Each structure stands twice: as C-alpha cells, then as structure tokens.
Amino acid sequence: MTNDQQVEQRLDSIEQVLEQAHTQLDQANQLQSNDNIEYYEMQIELEQANEELEKMITSTRPEMRDPLVRMQQQVQQMQNRMILGS
C-alpha cells in the first residue's frame, strides 16, 4: 500500500511532467512541426506516468484514489493533445 506522502510526492513529480509536456506542445505548435525527439520522449514519459498512476490507483486506500484519478485524467488529456497536436 502506498502512503500519503509517497502519493503527494509522485503527484508533484507527475505535475512537472505535465508542465514539461505543455511546453513541448507549445514549442511544436510554434514550429509547426512534431518531428522532434524531445516531443516523442515527452509522450513516452506521459505514458509511463499514466501506467504508474494506474498502479497507484489500484494499490492505495479508497480515500486517496480521487486525486490520483484526477491526475490520470490530466495526463490522458495531455496525451490526446500531443497526439492531435493541438
């Protein structure tokens, strides 16, 4: 079982990944190009974060799941935006 402090630390870390992904998406839109290694690496990081969140959701207490589910939704939305390039 994951404790509250670990959950908070991981959520902070994933929030940073989301911010970096947003920056990569903005840069790709400005350059009108998604042909960027950093862009693809960020997509991989987002998928890893999504998978980690899924594991955490299944291993935490029910009262801790809500913030994890919300963060997972944000990660999935960013993944979709990066795929669509918008």
The model's pLDDT over 16-50, given as tens digits with 9 standing for 90+, comes to 999 999 999 988 888 776 567 888 999 999 999 99
pLDDT of 1 over the 60 cut: no
* Two tokens, residue 26: 């903005």
The SS3 call for residue 11 is helix
What is the C-alpha to C-alpha distance for residues 76 and 52, in angstroms, rounded to an integer? 13
50-65 pLDDT, tens per residue?
Answer: 999 999 999 999 988 9
pLDDT of 3 over the 70 cut: yes
At 29 the pLDDT is 84
What is the C-alpha to C-alpha distance for residues 56 and 69, in angstroms, rounded to an integer? 10
pTM of the predicted model as reported, rounded to 2 decimal places = 0.87
